[in-house]
Structures are given as structure tokens and as C-alpha cells.
């Protein structure tokens, strides 16, 4: 099984440090190593979850679907999500699920007819693949068998069905193929050099501005979900998205203006520059209040 | 933080509130009210950004 785990990190080589030459913190390095060791089942889980969300979940949670169908659908998701953990549970015995890197003792075990012996010879990736593929496929089949009307042409949208087929094909492809791993020759291309120095140090507090902008933009998205007319609902969504982007741009502009190295404008110039907009704001606000009171 | 920076932050927050009111008015099919609030939001946001803009140029 090619899962990236057979490439041990070389602390003395160039891959142990970033291009800047600075040693990578141990915690960060460990996290990157764990990400790099993700196997085929984790890569297959992404299209699998997509296919589940399009073809299985709508059937399991459709009107009139039994409770067992929902349970089976949840089991399918659990099979996809927990398969990477199963795969990583036994990394020392996972040379290759396709058989190319198996030890002679494992080959000898295969010749034995006993099922238990063969099951014992299975490595973590083999168990993960069996759990991911069969757990997901069987649970999905159970859901479809329990709710056959969910797949009828009258209830299944054509585009959604085609997208579901693509998702299932990607899941099958990712499950059957070996895990993608990084090119080992890339490590040789890294040239160790002196530390890269940033042009300027960013002061603290910028994240707070961006967080406030994101919170405001997200709060706007909560408006207008109960509109009945489709055209107006789309218009409301469009307006809220544009307004959210504008507010996010405004907050980031304020954050960036705090620590600019350019010549700071004096208070008088800033006020003069914003005065037309402030006057316009006052005019619009007052005119709206006057019109509202006159009604 | 100067007073103008605080004013800019207040203007941006006011713009966000105006945008929200505009979207709510749009959802209620009150188009004139929605346009009013959206214009207020645009102007307030522009004023807030202009207040904090660095540089001596206009």
C-alpha cells in the first residue's frame, strides 16, 4: 500500500527544515508528517462524503423513510470517517495492500486456507479499505432498498443524479487506486539558505478587525431566508452577499490603515477627505427621517 | 487610536446595520425603504474608509 508512511522523515535532510533554513517547530512538523501519512481511505472519504450527501442522505431523510434507513446512512458516514483511523492504527504492518511489498511470512499465510489466519494477516490499510468500501456501499444499498421511491425519476433531479454518479465514480477510483504521495525527489530541490525576513512586522489586532468583519458579513446572511418568491429570495441573497463583501472590505481597510508605513495624513486632511461623504450621509439620513415623519 | 479612527469604526458598524436593515426591507418587499438603507450603508462605509485612509493626497 502506497500511503506515504514508508517515507520516514529525515531530520538531517533538507526536508526537515523549511526553505528559510530555520528549524521547524516539533509540533508543526509532527502535524505535517501526520497529514503526509494520510492514506487512500482518507482520500476516498472526500468523494465518498460528496456522493453520500447527494444520493444517500436525501433518500434517508426523505418523507416516509424509516428510522433504520437513517441509522444505515449514519453508519455509512461513520465508515468513511473512521476508515483513516483504522488505516493509521497499524502503520508498521502496512507496506502495500496490493501485495507488491508483502513479507514472505504474509505470503505464506495467504496460502493457508484458514480464514482466520488470512484475516490476521490483513494490515491496517486492508482493514480500512474493507471497512470504507463495504461499510459505505452496503449501508447505502440498505438505504436505497428501504426507500426505493427516493430514487424514482419523479423525485430525483437529473443534475443531482448525474453529480451523484460522478461522486460515486470518484469514490471508486480513489478507493481502488493507491494513495497519492509527495514526490521524494522534491526534497532534493529545496535549497537551504538564510532565514527569510519579512518586509514589515504585522502588529497584533488585525485578526480582531477581520473577525468583526466576518461576523458582520455572516450576520447579514441570516436575513431573508423566509422569502416565498424565488426571484426576491435570490435578490435578497445577492444583496446580502455584496453587502457582506463590502463590510469585510471596509474592516480590512481600517485594519491595514493602522500600521501603514506611508506618510500618515493629518487629522484635518482626513476629515476634509471624508467630509463630502459625511455630508451626504447626513443629508440622506435627515431626508429619510423627514419623509418618514411626513407620512 | 485617534478619535477619527473610532468614528470610522462606528461608521462601518453603522453601515453594516444599514445593510442589514436594507436586506430585511428587501425581504419584506419594501423596495424604497431597502434602497434608502442600502444607500445609507454605502455612504457610511465610504465615509468610514475615507476617514482612515493614510497619505496626504486627496
- Residue B55 exposure: Cα atoms within 13 Å on the Cβ side: 8
User: What is the distance in angstroms between the Cα of A260 and the nearest Cα belonging to chain B?
Assistant: 7
The helix/strand/coil state of A6 is coil
B48 contacts on A by Cβ (under 8 Å)? 250, 254, 274
Mean pLDDT of A31-52: 76
Of the partner residues B39, B47, B55, the one whose CB lies closest to the CB of residue A278: B47
Give a yes or no: residue A108 inside a domain: yes
Give a yes or no: residue A27 inside a domain: no
B36 contacts on A by Cβ (under 8 Å)? 284, 288
Q: What is the pLDDT of residue A256?
A: 81
**One domain for residues A282 and A219:** yes
User: What is the distance in angstroms between the Cα of B20 and the nearest Cα belonging to chain A?
Assistant: 6
Give a yes or no: residue A198 inside a domain: no
User: A277 lies in which domain range?
Assistant: 206-294
Q: What is the pLDDT of residues A90-133, one digit of tens each?
A: 544 444 444 444 454 555 455 555 666 666 666 767 777 888 88
* Count of the separate structural domains present in chain A: 2
A219 contacts on B by Cβ (under 8 Å)? 16, 20
Subunit contact B4:A267, Cβ cutoff 8 A: yes
Subunit contact B24:A224, Cβ cutoff 8 A: yes
Chain A nearest-CA residue for B44: A281
User: Which one is predicted more confidently, A7 or A105?
Assistant: A105
Among A41, A44, A5, CA closest to A126: A41
Cα–Cα distance list, A103 to A108, A112, A143, A176 (Å) = 9, 15, 40, 22
Q: What is the pLDDT of residue A214?
A: 93
Residue A15 backbone phi and psi in degrees, to 5 = -75, -15
- Residue A152 exposure: Cα atoms within 13 Å on the Cβ side: 7
Cell of A203: 502588529
What's the whole-number average pLDDT of chain A?
A: 75
Q: What is the pLDDT of residue A230?
A: 85
**One domain for residues A91 and A145:** yes
Give a yes or no: residue A84 inside a domain: yes
**One domain for residues A222 and A163:** no
Residues A75 and A132: their CA atoms lie apart, in Å, by 11
**One domain for residues A63 and A162:** yes
Contact call for residues B23 and A228 (beta carbons, < 8 A) = no
Of the partner residues B20, B27, B47, the one whose CB lies closest to the CB of residue A274: B47
B50 contacts on A by Cβ (under 8 Å)? 270, 273-274, 277
Cell of A74: 449514519
Collect the ranges in chain B with pLDDT lower than 70. 1, 54-58
Among A243, A264, A259, A250, CA closest to A213: A250
Question: For residue A189, what are the contacts with CB-CB under 8 A and spacing of at least 6?
Answer: none
Subunit contact B50:A274, Cβ cutoff 8 A: yes
Chain B CB within 8 Å of residue A177 CB: no
**One domain for residues A225 and A173:** no
Amino acid at each position: 500500500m502506497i500511503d506515504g508512511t514508508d517515507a520516514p522523515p529525515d531530520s538531517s535532510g533538507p526536508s526537515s527544515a523549511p526553505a528559510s533554513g530555520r528549524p521547524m517547530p516539533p509540533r508543526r512538523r509532527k502535524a505535517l508528517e501526520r497529514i503526509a501519512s494520510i492514506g487512500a481511505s482518507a482520500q476516498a472519504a472526500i468523494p465518498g462524503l460528496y456522493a453520500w450527501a447527494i444520493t444517500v442522505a436525501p433518500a434517508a431523510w426523505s418523507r416516509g423513510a424509516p428510522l433504520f434507513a437513517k441509522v444505515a446512512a449514519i453508519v455509512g458516514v461513520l465508515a468513511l470517517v473512521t476508515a483513516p483511523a483504522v488505516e493509521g492504527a497499524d502503520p508498521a504492518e502496512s507496506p502495500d495492500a496490493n501485495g507488491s511489498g508483502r513479507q514472505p511470512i504474509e505470503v505464506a499465510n495467504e496460502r493457508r486456507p484458514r480464514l482466520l489466519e488470512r484475516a490476521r494477516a490483513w494490515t491496517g490499510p486492508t482493514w480500512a479499505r474493507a471497512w470504507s468500501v463495504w461499510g459505505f456501499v452496503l449501508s447505502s444499498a440498505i438505504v436505497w432498498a428501504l426507500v426505493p421511491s427516493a430514487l424514482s425519476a419523479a423525485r430525483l433531479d437529473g443534475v443531482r443524479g448525474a453529480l451523484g454518479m460522478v461522486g460515486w465514480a470518484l469514490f471508486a477510483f480513489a478507493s481502488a487506486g493507491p494513495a497519492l504521495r509527495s514526490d521524494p525527489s522534491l526534497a532534493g530541490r529545496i535549497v537551504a539558505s538564510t532565514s527569510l525576513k519579512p518586509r514589515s512586522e504585522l502588529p497584533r489586532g488585525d485578526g480582531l478587525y477581520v473577525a468583526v468583519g466576518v461576523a458582520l458579513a455572516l450576520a447579514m446572511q441570516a436575513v431573508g431566508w423566509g422569502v416565498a418568491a424565488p426571484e426576491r429570495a435570490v435578490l435578497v441573497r445577492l444583496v446580502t452577499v455584496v453587502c457582506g463583501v463590502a463590510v469585510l472590505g471596509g474592516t480590512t481597510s481600517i485594519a491595514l490603515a493602522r500600521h501603514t508605513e506611508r506618510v500618515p495624513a493629518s487629522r484635518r486632511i482626513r476629515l476634509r477627505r471624508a467630509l463630502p461623504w459625511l455630508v451626504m450621509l447626513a443629508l440622506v439620513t435627515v431626508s429619510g427621517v423627514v419623509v418618514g415623519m411626513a407620512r | 487610536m485617534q478619535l477619527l479612527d473610532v468614528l470610522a469604526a462606528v461608521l462601518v458598524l453603522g453601515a453594516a446595520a444599514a445593510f442589514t436593515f436594507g436586506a430585511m426591507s428587501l425581504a419584506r418587499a419594501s423596495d424604497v425603504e431597502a434602497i434608502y438603507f442600502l444607500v445609507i450603508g454605502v455612504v457610511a462605509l465610504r465615509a468610514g474608509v475615507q476617514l482612515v485612509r493614510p497619505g496626504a493626497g486627496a
